[in-house]
A and B are shown apart, each in its own frame.
Chain A
Amino acid sequence: MSDYKNFTMNFGPQHPAAHGVLRLILEMDGEVIRSADPHIGLLHRATEKLAESKPYNQNIGYMDRLDYVSMMCNEHAYVLAIEDIMKLDIPERSKYIRVMFDEITRILNHLLWLGAHALDIGAMSVFLYAFREREDLMDCYEAVSGTRMHATYYRPGGVSKDLPNVMPKYMLNKNQNLDQVEKLNYNREGSLLDFIESFIDRFPKNVDEYENLLTDNRIWKQRTVGIGVVSPERAVDLGFTGPMLRGSGIEWDLRKKQPYEIYKDLEFDIPVGTEGDSYDRYLVRMQEMRESARIIKQCCNWLKTDNGEYISSNYKIAPPDRDDMKESMESLIHHFKLFSEGYCLPVGETYACVEAPKGEFGIYLISDGANKPYRLKIRAPGFPHLASLDEMAKGHMLSDVVTIIGTQDIVFGEIDR
């Protein structure tokens, strides 16, 4: 009889809780998980190989599509790697813009994580509330880059455009009358920075709202406390980064430990957990959203007083002014060379990493002096997290696997690359 005790179950890739295309082979004893074997590769798009055949600038767009819920953070690591090899200094303003959008991205990511995690555990409404706030942040993306998700906004040397002075507004349509449209536009009268400020002012209250639904909810606690416990030592051994590591009580944040851009000038705290269970990771991420709001607020204040350059004026790597191109031969040539051949990097290699919402997102870049990478290796934070799924899920029940997938905040764009 004991030979027939366990049965295997195929979980995904088409499963509501598979977060994309996760395929798990679960070996179960009744409802209890004996082993969980994640199968990956269903979203493999060969980004690393593709990057070897494209000029440096044209690879930025691929970075957005890696972790497709924290788009600009991926770009950030990539442009940092290029700037590192070139030893390029970028204008102060662009640093602030990048940090501000990194934090907007963090909120975007954590909101999606919160919604999906809550939905996995069965709390429907949080998902829709989180998406309501995401909509405004998407509008910020759209205002600076023209797209809501895959922005390609960061460029080596700065960012592609300055912050706009007007926000796009809702127009009168057949579904909404004038009053409703005006209500929607109430914080869109000023510049993008005004819009972000008004968002940041109300956002902590929104986080309170989500916490109100979940934090002290008995069912939520029963479902998350003690689920997927990772000890601090194991978390380090397994290569955890980001909230997964901080949830286990290790205060490690690249923004503090290896500050890039202007993080060392900003005031913020790193929340850490104590138990290392799903509930702690939930609390850490909720607190991170508040801290991000604080950082954005500081960036907003700085950017409002500043009128500097938003991108380096080295025309070998940054496009010249459009107006100059009509007058100046050099500008036209620079423009043509930049968008056709691109630029060559000096021979060298580097590893650049940022604290992406999910953890340490790193780019290892080798340049052989050509106009495209010789090798580009992506260090995706989700990969080691997923690799520990078996260890985290062992002995728990089927419903807890869903909680653990949720708490790991897995996105397959970056894991499968």
Chain B
Amino acid sequence: MDIIFYIINTVISILTVVIPLFLIVAYVTYSERKIIGFMQSRMGPTRVGPSGLLQPIADVLKLVSKEIIIPTNASKGIFLTAPMLMLVPSLLVWAVIPLSELFIISNINAGLLFILALTSLSVYGVILAGWASNSKYAFLGSMRSAAQIIAYEIAMGFALVGVLMLSGSLNLQVIIQEQSGSIFNWYWLPLFPLFLIYFIAGVAETNRAPFDVSEGESEIVAGFHVEYSGMAFAMFFLAEYMNLILISILSSILFFGGWLSPFQGTFLDIYFAFVPGFVWLSLKTMIFIFVFLWLRATLPRYRYDQIMRLGWKVFLPITFFWLTVIGILIYLKYLPL
């Protein structure tokens, strides 16, 4: 009886995360179009529903009702598996994200490791999609993506080592609690260079501008998903936006105190005590999502070899250097372990 109750409980908590997540993804696309629209002095969607609010729903309906075209010489099995390989890891990751003090689907000890493992997995989706499409454009896209992921995954991993060194735990809930105290106890202060590298590597990891070389619109058309249509394309699309939200939420958890109130340790704390942690987390996440969109509206695209240079020659040495600095500071007891 207990086991059934446990399963039902888990399913409900999964649904409470996944269903809102899909809705959020839909409206992140809407806000992306609106925000970038205002940045580019145009309106964004206005036609479907009041000020275009139903646009994402219409988009979903369109994508669902479209045919999935499989190119003649494509490897059919892999072609259809690839989008799932993209989507499933980016959904699974949410199991270990602490959304508030209490709510977390699975509070495992190796949470950060779990996230790193799963996010690196999604590159297989990209590579297989490009390979299975049997198109030169898609192939170039997946080649670029493979090279890029290796360059950035390493810098990203090392950036997170800094967090591990300070918190002494892989458990995300513990990492957040270790940051409590005040806004200056959050890890962005001691780990500022690592935070920047983590965020930039995150942008590269999600294949978004200015690192969108693997789908570089003006060079290789749509890159790895050039042959995909309908729901198969929608899965890539969903995965991309879910990763975007994920990188934003991880940045706020690892470097900006997650669900901790920014007023902790000040006299304002008692006035804001009623605000649930989830609200703080979402606010911080939204700021990062905004930065993602802002980058996209402003910056030109890197060339693929320049990205590699940035990853290997700039980010990696900086992370090594800063990890050494952090290590020395901890050894000299300037920073708590």
Instruction: Assess whether B304 is in contact with A31, with CB atoms less than 8 Å apart.
Output: yes
Cβ distance B140 to chain A, nearest Cβ, rounded Å: 7
Give the interface centre of B144, B209, B300, B304 by most chain A CB atoms within 10 Å: B300
Instruction: Assess whether B300 is in contact with A220, with CB atoms less than 8 Å apart.
Output: yes
Given contact pairs A16-B221, A119-B218, A124 touches B297 in the complex (Cβ within 8 A): yes
Given contact pairs A219-B210, A220-B300, A398 touches B219 in the complex (Cβ within 8 A): yes
What are the 10 closest A-B residue pairs judged by CB atoms, nearest first? A122-B301, A128-B40, A123-B300, A17-B218, A122-B300, A121-B300, A120-B218, A399-B303, A219-B300, A125-B40
CA distance A296 to B298 in the complex (A): 31
Cβ distance B174 to chain A, nearest Cβ, rounded Å: 38
Is B220 part of the contact surface with A, judged by Cβ < 8 Å?
A: yes
Given contact pairs A219-B299, A219-B300, A398-B220, A122 touches B212 in the complex (Cβ within 8 A): yes
Q: How large is the interface on B (under 10, 10 to 19, 20 to 34, 35 or more residues)?
A: 20 to 34
CA distance A223 to B210 in the complex (A): 12
Beyond the given pairs A119-B218, A121-B301, 13 more chain A to chain B contacts, judged by CB atoms under 8 angstroms and listed by A's residue number, are: A121-B300, A122-B218, A124-B40, A124-B296, A125-B40, A129-B40, A132-B41, A217-B300, A397-B303, A397-B304, A398-B220, A399-B301, A400-B303
Chain A, residues 369-403, CB within 8 Å of chain B (1/0): the string is 00000000000000000000000000001111110
Instruction: Assess whether B140 is in contact with A31, with CB atoms less than 8 Å apart.
Output: yes
Q: B residues 189-227 with Cβ under 8 Å of A?
A: 209-210, 212-213, 216-221
Q: Which of these, B40, B140, B218, B302, contacts A222 with CB under 8 Å?
A: B302
The chain A residue sitting closest to B296, CB to CB, is A124
Residues of B within 8 A of A (CB): 36, 39-42, 136-137, 140, 143-144, 209-210, 212-213, 216-221, 296-306
The chain B residue sitting closest to A121, CB to CB, is B300
Instruction: Assess whether A7 is in contact with B301, with CB atoms less than 8 Å apart.
Output: no
Give the interface centre of A120, A398, A400, A402 by most chain B CB atoms within 10 Å: A398
Is A238 part of the contact surface with B, judged by Cβ < 8 Å?
A: no
Cβ distance A198 to chain B, nearest Cβ, rounded Å: 18
24 A-B pairs in the complex with CB atoms less than 8 angstroms apart = A9-B137, A10-B136, A15-B221, A31-B144, A31-B304, A121-B218, A122-B209, A122-B210, A122-B217, A122-B300, A122-B301, A123-B299, A123-B300, A123-B301, A124-B36, A125-B40, A129-B40, A129-B41, A219-B299, A219-B300, A222-B306, A223-B301, A223-B302, A398-B220
Is A81 part of the contact surface with B, judged by Cβ < 8 Å?
A: no
Instruction: Assess whether B304 is in contact with A219, with CB atoms less than 8 Å apart.
Output: no
Chain A, residues 321-352, CB within 8 Å of chain B (1/0): the string is 00000000000000000000000000000000
Q: A residues 278-325 with Cβ under 8 Å of B?
A: none
Is A262 part of the contact surface with B, judged by Cβ < 8 Å?
A: no
CA distance A222 to B213 in the complex (A): 15
